[in-house]
């Protein structure tokens, strides 16, 4: 990905964009998708973010990938074979479409739960949202054209937030709510 890192103020249209895409995905995958959730910074009202809609699809198993791959390709997404993260299967939009990242994760897996807990916790904590946004703006200035370094630079704040989210989950008895779609 060679496009520059751009963080922008929260846009209320992001939720509607997710709903539109999520409905398309739900119609394509039906019951193959146990959950379809809006994740990432665009899913947290008020949080400044890169204007990329992240969608997590929870499935029983990655295999056979062809079931999901064909259905998602038919609605305009491309399977990224080069994704090094083995906890998910990753799809992107076709050329000349708005940026969308689709993360297929196994239902109940640590990586699926991590994304949902991070999102849900930040939806309840304005201070951590503000701190996270500040770090993202600082990293954007430092690494505007170095996506890997931008992503690596976010790791300390993400783990700091997740430490508090873990404690919050224990106090509240957190578990994922209903699927977004």
How far apart CA 40 and CA 78 sit, in angstroms, is: 20
Given this model, what pLDDT does residue 136 score? Answer: 98
* pLDDT score, position 174: 98
Residue keyed to tokens 């600082």: 138
Q: What is the pLDDT of residues 125-154, one digit of tens each?
A: 999 999 999 999 999 999 999 999 999 999
- Secondary structure (3-state) at 174: coil
Its pTM stands at 0.96
Q: What share of the chain in percent tops pLDDT 70?
A: 99
The residue to which tokens 């995958």 are assigned: 29
Residue 2 banded pLDDT, cuts 50, 70, 90: low
116's enclosing H/E stretch is helix 110-122
Mean per-residue pLDDT for 33-55? Answer: 98
> Are residues 74 and 119 in contact, defined by beta-carbon separation less than 8 angstroms?
no
Residues 6+ apart with CB under 8 A from 72: 25, 28, 29, 79, 91, 102
How would you classify residue 98: left for phi > 0, otherwise alpha for psi between -120 and 50, otherwise beta?
beta
**pLDDT at 166 (0 to 100):** 98
| pLDDT value for 12 | 97
- Give the closest residue to 181 by CA, choosing from 80, 35, 16: 35
pLDDT tens sequence across 89-133 = 999 998 778 899 999 999 999 999 999 999 999 999 999 999 999
Does the pLDDT value for residue 4 go beyond 90?
A: yes
Assign 79 a pLDDT band (cuts: 50, 70, 90).
very high
Taking residues 63-68, report their average pLDDT.
Answer: 94
């Amino acid at each position: 990905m060679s496009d520059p890192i751009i963080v922008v103020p929260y846009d209320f249209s992001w939720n509607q964009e997710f709903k539109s895409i999520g409905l398309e995905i739900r119609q394509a995958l039906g019951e193959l998708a146990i959950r379809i959730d809006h994740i990432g910074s665009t899913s947290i009202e008020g949080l400044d973010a890169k204007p990329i809609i992240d969608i997590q699809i929870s499935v029983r198993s990655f295999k056979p990938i062809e079931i999901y791959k064909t259905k998602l390709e038919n609605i305009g997404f491309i399977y990224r074979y080069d994704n090094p993260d083995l906890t998910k299967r990753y799809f992107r939009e076709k050329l000349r479409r708005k940026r969308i990242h689709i993360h297929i994760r196994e239902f109940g897996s640590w990586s699926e739960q991590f994304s949902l807990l991070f999102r849900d916790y930040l939806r309840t904590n304005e201070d951590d949202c503000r701190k996270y946004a500040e770090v993202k703006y600082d990293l954007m200035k430092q690494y505007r054209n170095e996506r890997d370094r931008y992503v690596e630079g976010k790791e300390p704040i993400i783990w700091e937030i997740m430490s508090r989210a873990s404690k919050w989950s224990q106090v509240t008895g957190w578990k994922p709510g209903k699927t977004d779609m």
